Amino acid sequence: MPAIPRSEPFAARACPLGNCDGSGWILGPEDVARPCECRERRLNRGRVRGVASVIPPRYRGVSFDRPPVSDMARDLETKAAVAEVRKFIEDLDERLDRGRGLWLYGDTGTGKTTLAMLASKRALEAGRSVAIYSLPKLLARIRRTYDSAPTDDSYLSFFERLSSVDLLHIDDVGAEKRSDWVLEQLYALINERYEAERSVLITTNLPHDELEEQIGMRTVSRLNQICDEVPLFGSDQRYDKAL
């Protein structure tokens, strides 16, 4: 059987699962090729181009072995949250395949975004597709699609990409100005991922009842069902370091 030609997005890339030669195909008995599990993941990454999937510079070196996460793992107020995120990452593929996510909440500066970025970073390193936005920036990005021509980056195509990524990471939920339009957009997106069993990772400063008031009971109900809640306690680390 002739060699299977490589094509984008498979050219010159190693298999993230270590199962194939990077072509996206596994050659079986009698020279019969079958698709590798990495193929669907890579094709999915190609389909969702145009979403923000880059870890911000401040968080690119985040690791369990380096501060601030290593310090948080020794702190009595935050060590349990670090352990929960570690467990999520250790079972990353299984969690994402089941559509399980994380809901990190606590006061300002307790390390929610750092831990969330660590989880998203590991997902990207594992070859999974990830979209990363603060909620105010995500809403602004959605509004821009209204000005796009039908053949350009339309609302529908952007919504489909947000719905298709393996992990949707939304930071600062509750920081947006509340309106009927905001409630509608957020509910539509979370409900779509809830029904499709796709993972969501959120951070918020708001306790449960205040979050319901801010983004709506229906949206919070769905987040409750697809996310494991991870509380973070303690003082503002950014403020303490500035003293």
Predicted TM-score of the model (pTM)? 0.78
Please write the tens of the pLDDT for every residue from 62-78: 999 999 999 999 999 99
Please write the tens of the pLDDT for every residue from 185-205: 999 999 999 999 999 999 999
Domains (range + CATH), the chain = 1-47 (no CATH), 50-242 (3.40.50.300)
Q: What is the pLDDT of residue 90?
A: 97
Residues 6+ apart with CB under 8 A from 55: 62, 117, 120, 121, 124, 132
Query: Beta partners for 202?
Result: 103, 170
Q: What is the pLDDT of residue 32?
A: 63
Residues 6+ apart with CB under 8 A from 151: none
Q: Is the dihedral of CA 176, 178, 179, 185 positive or negative?
A: positive
